[in-house]
Structure formats: structure tokens, C-alpha cells
Structure 1
């Protein structure tokens, strides 16, 4: 789940902090949750003055009318921003061109919001907070129920936006929406999740514990899950009484804009949710604005470590979900058919652009002999435009991503690995997709831990395989990796699985489950560790424990003496509590 920084990441900001443009040139913090994601230099920024209009700006799609093909849009409309429950055309002169990854046709232009517009969004949220905080929890719950209903009614519309802007096939785009919807559904249980505690600590004295909202909070989202990651933040942040500034990825903001429209229709008051756009300047504004109390980020390690450091220096809560190198240990005793099919789906779905993609196999003992069969399964996948019938996976997000992925495949070959299945140079049969960002499923065998294809997160449809003799050596290899997002083991042995889960150093462990993400279960959240989490910080994006990030505790100790109600004479002695 992660996203984009430019050429290199700056050193940690100094406290004095002069202008950040030189230090963060090229930063696009909405990359995937991994390192080495596409950068702002791959986006074409145009200049054009534009008159703002706060009236009459609407989204081009509706519940019943939205794109269902990759046909070229004849008159692309600029993406607005969202403030005070209105879609507003930006007055900026800088826009980022957004292209359909399957064709590279222009879809829209995304504004780099001006400083004035960014300040207005924060002011709107600040003004809304007192009233929203005072709104009863039951009223907020009712809005969330309506929000969930509207997401369901607009499911296909949201999926279509994701397919057009991000490149996922429609079925996978629907899954993106579904995962986020589960978080919104969980937030509907807020009345039982946000209960306080009370204890009588002495005679006539009790201490109560409350959870209260923080105020104005922010979320910086990645390109690879345009609906799911915004839905990690919008329901939990708002239902707990906060007001949210959301910055979607400049590469595919359409789903977030639809969610804003639905939140308004559900009854969210003006200013409770505002959406801004941009790259590094918008991010720096969020990091420095004193009114913003907490920041949730999903993206690359370089961007996330910078955001965590600078945001923390400014006294903000920051949770940052970063890069990954997810392994699967394949034991010879496993259900071979289940394992191979699971691996292909987890490695190549969404063109490998998932922070929880299964990117690395550890073949234990003779399981290495199954790799040719794995390649045959991967060959059967159909690459095509996301709206096309029977398409299994679509393109990667940008031409720059394609070039970087193909460069890492080439580096593996140069370092002595074997390209068992090569997806470079893939072209769909339909000529309308000739200019798309295509990389076919790729499998690299004979990989060693020092190779670049292993040390760097590829974030594409590339699966690498290492070979070890025993379970112990598999555990040692995986634990030596600096990332700790997710891991899986395929085995029929309960004892083997138990030993693996006990000794493995990873936040999310799957036993015969290739992508072990506990979304939709209200008691659990995303739980990566090691370098997959910035600064060892909080990682409680959703679910019941996600409420901890968006709220602060208050304890109230009160004394109501029984004799004050019943006594006929004042007690002038020193109070002694028993």
C-alpha cells in the first residue's frame, strides 16, 4: 500500500527550515507504500491561468454515468479540489497531466493547489471542528451508515475511476473499493468501540476515562489503492469527531473525489472533509501547518521517513506505512496446486503494485522443482486494458515505472540470475493499447540476497525466487531482510507452521494465505514492522485499535461526598480518603 518520491530524498529538515523546494525537488509523496516509486519528473506539468469558480463545478461522473472503456476523452476536464462541501476549480497555474496507463491518453489535469487554497482548506476544517466535535456520536454513526450505503450504490462508478486512472482491471478495482468499504462498515460500530471506563478509586471518588478527537488531522494517500487508503482515514478520522484534510495521489485522485461527493450526500457537514491536491509543496504544507495535529501516510520509505521526521519535529502524531519485500516460504509438503495458484495471484495481481504483493519466493528443498510449473501458470494470465473482458492484469502506473521495473529485471540478468519468464516488451494485441505501460509477468530464479532485484522493492509484476535447504535457513533468510510488512508459509504441517510463526520477524503472517491483511476485522489493523514502519511509530490505521491514533485520552477524577447531600453540619477537618 505505499507511493512516490523524486530522485533522492533530502536530509532531515533543519529546525530553521528555509525554503524546502530545493531540498524536496521532485518529491511526489503519493507513491506506493514502497520505495523506488515513480517520481514527479515523470508527470507533465503545464501552466495555464484559470478563473476559480465555487459554483457549478461538478464531477464528470455520476452514479449512472461513468467511463466504461479506454476510449480517448475528447475534452478532458480539470480535477477540482473539495472545500466546504463544494467542488472548486483551482486558480493555480500549475497542473499535473494524468494519463490512462493503458493508452497514455490524457484523462484530466490535477491542480497543484496554491498556498492560499491550502490555507483555506485548513481554515475550513478548523471552523468545522467545534460543531462536529459537539455532534452526538449517534448522529455521526448515522452519517457513517449512510456513507456505507452510498459507497455500495456507487461501487461500479468508483471501480471505473480506478481502472481509468490507475490501470487496475475492473474486478481488482472493485476489490480495492471492497477493502475500503469494510473499514467504513467497521466504523459504524463506533458506539461500542469508543466507550470509556470508570472506576471508584476511593469512597465517593471515581475516575473516568474518555477518548476525545484531536482536531484537524490529515491523510496523504498513495496511487496504488485510490479508494482503499482514503477509506482507511475518512471513516475512522471523522466518526471519532475529527476534521480531515485528505491529499490523494496526484496520479489518480478520481476515487477520492467521488468519496467526497458521497460523504457530503451522507450528511457530513461543511469542512469536516476537505480534499487538496499537489506534490511536495502540498505535503510540506501539511507537515508544517500547526493546526494539523496528526498525519497518516502510506508510501515509499524515503518519503515516509522524511514525513515522519519532519511531522514529529513539528509535534504531530505521524503513522507511516512504508516499503515491503514480502516473502513466501514454500515447503515440499504443502498443497502444491493451492500454493502455486495462490502465489501467481498474489504476485501478479494489480500488476504487482501492492505493498502486500508476494514478491519473493523462498523455495525450500525440492520445492524449487516446481518453478517451471509456476511459470506456465503465470503465462496463462491475460494482460489487457482494465475494461476489457477476461483481462487478468493491466499496465503499471507510468512509463517511468515501466522503465524502472525493466531496469531491475535487466540488473538481475547482469548479476547472474535466470529470467525464467520475461515480461519485458509485452504488447497487447489490440493496437489501441500499443502506447500503454505494459510489463508482463516475470519470474527470476537463482536470485542471491546481494542482488539488486532482491535488495530493492520492484513494485511491479516481477516474482523473484531464492533457494534454501531447510525451514531454519528460510526463516534466517527472511529475518535478515530489513522489511517486515508481510510473510507467508505454505505447508501441511501444523508443527512447521507454528515454528515459523513463532520465529519469523514480520508484522503480518499468513499460513497458506498469501496476502495476510486483516482488513474488515474490527479488532485488528495493518501491522507491519521493521523498516516497513517509519521510526517504529504507530501503525493503527483502522479497526478498533485505529481509534487510538485519531483520539486522545482524558481522565476525570471527581469527588461527590455523600454527606454533602445528607449532612446537616459542615465538616471542617482535613479530608482523609479511605
Structure 2
């Protein structure tokens, strides 16, 4: 049984429910995970609340020493962690290793917290009066994270939150829960005090208990748009600070002057990496004519060489989907797209690997229009839709009318067109000849429109601001050279 982590050690909890954990490549249940009760959430929050005062008062130097030790332990055992991800999520080991590496970047960014927490200081704003600002932690904060990145997304959150002096409660996905406990063990080995980092496994019961808990001061979330909206509204109603990153429908615009080989490689990598189960996946290729036919031919040629198989097989380039139900949902879009008039260029239901795994091969759909379900919905699978347009202006209209605004890319050799695109497009993250514009850790990750609820993006300097609050101080001191006469603000301003 996979349990929780409270007070610096495994915690069985009081809940009576559990859920199966399955290897997506075989369809075999490998373990069960305990689902937290509201009382289990109370225990985790109480542990975090008790640990917070001492951790808040721990010096920045000591915090950074622990962060560096955590970083070194994580780096030493990154291959082991990648295998845990593959076993429960299904992504190929190289994708899992890349996920760990991107999470490590945020840990490294958080190691610079003494610089990041600097406030401002103004001397003598009035006679013998100084003014300054300081950044202070919030208290107990929580992260609710998705199945598709069980390591990277939590590490967008807790390294910065903990570095800022908060204590943290993580609620990972019940589909791949083991990575969270692995990270908790590394924190303990790094010397993090008991209670500063806690894990509650669970489902909606655990989520709601966190959202409604009076001692949780802030909530970070990554997931689908409907749930992000629910997290945002419920958290706000309970007086919490919230950043809720929602869904996506990422478009890749290819202009006629683009390098089509580069664009084809990018479309395949961005569309089918991690089986398309990522919020930055390219799911819509907008081909500005007359490039569509040639581009589709190049993509089809590359897709034929992609190897779909178990994530722990070094030959595999794409693994299975996370659950049977999700695989069936994604596959249904292939039928509906054909029924609605699109063309299935490559049908991912054909040539599947043997066995009971949750398989679907990469799929390419042409002649897609904005009214089709495969265009409107976030499919979250290895399905790439091609929309043909006649001009740059038509492409921009398509993007502006889409309710999502997470990531986008443009492929072109025209610097003027690229600059115009980055200025005009209503999307939070933009790639120019880069298909997946995930920013480095010292910038912040987040979208616009229905891809973000709340004002703050994840990690980077916005993450530091999210996990701290500013206190402005105005100080007045007696000037001994004037015989102790009070020369302060406002009487002597």
C-alpha cells in the first residue's frame, strides 16, 4: 500500500478507501494507494502548521544549505526517480529523465533565495525616517498536481515555497503517487525539519479538505480548465491566495517561408512526446497555404518511424496513455473527427503493440475546422490536428478566437513576422521556431485566458511573489546629536 507522508515519516492515515495504481504498459495493477480522509488532511496541515514558525525563523543560509543537499541527492538518484515515473505514468524513460531535469532547474533557482528575497530600502524619506519593505512567508501552503508530470509540476511549487519559509502540503495525482514519497524521503535525508514537507494521497475528498481548511493560506494547482476554475473559485471563497493553471489547445503556425523539415520535426516531437499528455503539447498545426500538403507528407514520413512501446524499453519513443479510460476517450475523437468531415491521415488505432497496455499510436488528422470536437476540446493525447488557412491574418484570428491561451509557436524565417506574432498573440508563452516554449526556471510558467485562473504564474520571480507577502516598514529614530529630540515624521517632515 502506498501511504502518505506526515511529520517527516510515512503515515498510514485513517481513511478506509484506496485506489489501484496501474502500469499503463501492461494494464496490470502494481499496488494500491491510500485515499486520504478529511482527518488525514487535518493531520498533514497540523504538522505543517506546527513546523512553520521554526522554519520561518530559520536563517536563509541554513535553508539554502538544505536546498543544496536536496538538489545533490535528487541529482544522484534522478535515474531511479525517472524509472518510478515510467512505471506508473508510462512515459518513456528519456521523457521521464527530462522531467526530472526540468524540476531540478527550479530547485537550483530556489537555491538563490537570499538574493530573491531582498526587499527595498529608502533612507531619510523624512527627517530621521527610513522606509523599507520585506518579503515574508505565508504559512502553510498546498500544491495539487496532475498525473502527467508527477515530479516536475510539484517542483514548480514546493522548492520555492519552502525556500521562502513556508511549510508545504502536496496532494499528488492518485494515478502515479510514488514519486511524491520518493521526494519526501530525499527532503528528510537533506535535513528538512519534520512537518515542513508533507504528502497526502487522495482524490476530491482530499482536495476539498485542503481548499476549505482554515490553516491553508495558499493553493497552487495544475490541471484541466474546469477543475482549475473550481480550485480558483473555492479557494477564493475560503480566503486563500490561489494560482490555478488550466488546460490548453496549443497552436503551431507554419508560414510559407518556414523551414519545413524543421517544422515537421518540431510537430512530431511536440505533438507526440509523452504521448501528448502535457499541457504544452502542440495539438493544432496551422498550415498557412500553400505549405500544408508538403508539410503533412514530411510529418507522415516521420510518424512512420516512431516506435511505440513500453516506457522502460530503450527502443521506445512513445509510451502508452495513463489509463484505459483515458485511452478510450482519446480514441473516440478519431471516430468523431472522421464523422464530422476531417481526414484521418494516420490512424493511431492501427498497428498497436501487443498486450493489455493502454495503447494508442500517434494520430494525424487533416482538414480540421474550428467547429469540430477534435479542435474544440483538449484531447490530451497523441493527436495532431491540421487546420489549413490562407493567410497570417486567418491564423491569428483562429488563435484569438480560441478560449485557451497557454502556449503557441510560429515557424518562419521572417523576423518581422515573428516579431509581429509575439506582440499580437494573446497567449502566455510563445515559441519562435521553438515548438514547446517552456521557460527556464528563472522565468515564470503560465498562460492567459482560460489557461490561468489567478494572477500569478508558476516558479520564477512570480513564484517567489506568490509564496510571500510584502510588509512595508516606516521607522523613526531619535537623533542623539539633537539631545534626544524626536525629529521624526510627520511633525518635522
Fold in common (TM above 0.5)? yes
2:175 is the alignment partner of 1:251: yes
Q: Secondary structure at the residue paired with 1:366?
A: coil
2:452 is the alignment partner of 1:533: yes
Deviation, structure 1 residue 389:
2.0
Aligned to 1:291: 215
2:233 is the alignment partner of 1:309: yes
2:476 is the alignment partner of 1:559: yes
Q: Secondary structure at the residue paired with 2:10?
A: strand
Distance (whole Å) between structure 2 residues aligned to residue 117 and residue 221 of structure 1:
18
Which of 255, 269, 275 is the equivalent residue of 1:351?
275
2:171 is the alignment partner of 1:171: no
Aligned to 2:462: 545
Could you tell me which runs of 5 or more consecutive residues in structure 1 were left unpaired when the two chains were aligned: 1-77
Distance (whole Å) between structure 2 residues aligned to residue 544 and residue 322 of structure 1:
20
Which of 504, 520, 523 is the equivalent residue of 2:425?
504
Quickly say closer, same or farther: Cα 1:570–1:388, change in 2 above 3 A. closer
Deviation, structure 1 residue 576:
2.6
Aligned to 1:115: 38
- Equivalence map 1:347-496=2 (5 Å): 347-370=271-294, 371-428=296-353, 431=354, 434-496=355-417
2:441 is the alignment partner of 1:516: no
Distance (whole Å) between structure 2 residues aligned to residue 440 and residue 368 of structure 1:
22
Distance (whole Å) between structure 2 residues aligned to residue 101 and residue 571 of structure 1:
73
Distance (whole Å) between structure 1 residues aligned to residue 42 and residue 447 of structure 2:
33
Deviation, structure 1 residue 372:
2.0
Quickly say closer, same or farther: Cα 1:199–1:568, change in 2 above 3 A. closer
Which of 269, 276, 281 is the equivalent residue of 2:200?
276
Q: Secondary structure at the residue paired with 1:319?
A: strand
2:263 is the alignment partner of 1:324: no
Deviation, structure 1 residue 573:
12
Q: Secondary structure at the residue paired with 1:394?
A: coil
Quickly say closer, same or farther: Cα 1:293–1:575, change in 2 above 3 A. closer
RMSD (Å) for aligned C-alpha atoms: 1.4
Whether the 8 Å contact between 1:80 and 1:110 is mirrored in structure 2 is yes
Distance (whole Å) between structure 1 residues aligned to residue 486 and residue 21 of structure 2:
76
Distance (whole Å) between structure 2 residues aligned to residue 105 and residue 344 of structure 1:
29
1:416-472 CA-to-partner distances (Å, cap 9, x unmatched) read 0000000014421xx4xx100001000000001000110101100000000011111
Distance (whole Å) between structure 2 residues aligned to residue 402 and residue 445 of structure 1:
21
Q: Secondary structure at the residue paired with 2:400?
A: helix
Could you tell me which runs of 5 or more consecutive residues in structure 2 were left unpaired when the two chains were aligned: none
* Count of residues in correspondence between the two structures: 491
Distance (whole Å) between structure 2 residues aligned to residue 190 and residue 382 of structure 1:
42
Aligned to 2:24: 101
Deviation, structure 1 residue 191:
0.9
1:323-356 CA-to-partner distances (Å, cap 9, x unmatched) read 1000011112111111110110000000000100
1:71-125 CA-to-partner distances (Å, cap 9, x unmatched) read xxxxxxx102101110122343211001000001112111111222221111111
Quickly say closer, same or farther: Cα 1:476–1:567, change in 2 above 3 A. same
Deviation, structure 1 residue 373:
2.0
Quickly say closer, same or farther: Cα 1:572–1:245, change in 2 above 3 A. closer
1:475-511 CA-to-partner distances (Å, cap 9, x unmatched) read 1111110100001000011011111112111111100
Quickly say closer, same or farther: Cα 1:557–1:470, change in 2 above 3 A. same
Distance (whole Å) between structure 2 residues aligned to residue 575 and residue 500 of structure 1:
52
Distance (whole Å) between structure 2 residues aligned to residue 572 and residue 82 of structure 1:
55
1:225-245 CA-to-partner distances (Å, cap 9, x unmatched) read 010011111200101000001
Q: Secondary structure at the residue paired with 1:386?
A: coil
Distance (whole Å) between structure 1 residues aligned to residue 226 and residue 258 of structure 2:
37
Distance (whole Å) between structure 2 residues aligned to residue 485 and residue 572 of structure 1:
54
Deviation, structure 1 residue 569:
7.0
Aligned to 2:491: 576
Deviation, structure 1 residue 474:
0.8
Distance (whole Å) between structure 1 residues aligned to residue 489 and residue 390 of structure 2:
75
TM-score by length of structure 1 reads 0.83
Which of 143, 149, 170 is the equivalent residue of 2:72?
149
Aligned to 1:264: 188
Deviation, structure 1 residue 408:
1.0
Whether the 8 Å contact between 2:144 and 2:219 is mirrored in structure 1 is yes
Whether the 8 Å contact between 2:138 and 2:467 is mirrored in structure 1 is yes
Quickly say closer, same or farther: Cα 1:119–1:333, change in 2 above 3 A. same
Deviation, structure 1 residue 527:
2.7
Deviation, structure 1 residue 570:
5.1
2:123 is the alignment partner of 1:197: no
Whether the 8 Å contact between 1:321 and 1:539 is mirrored in structure 2 is no
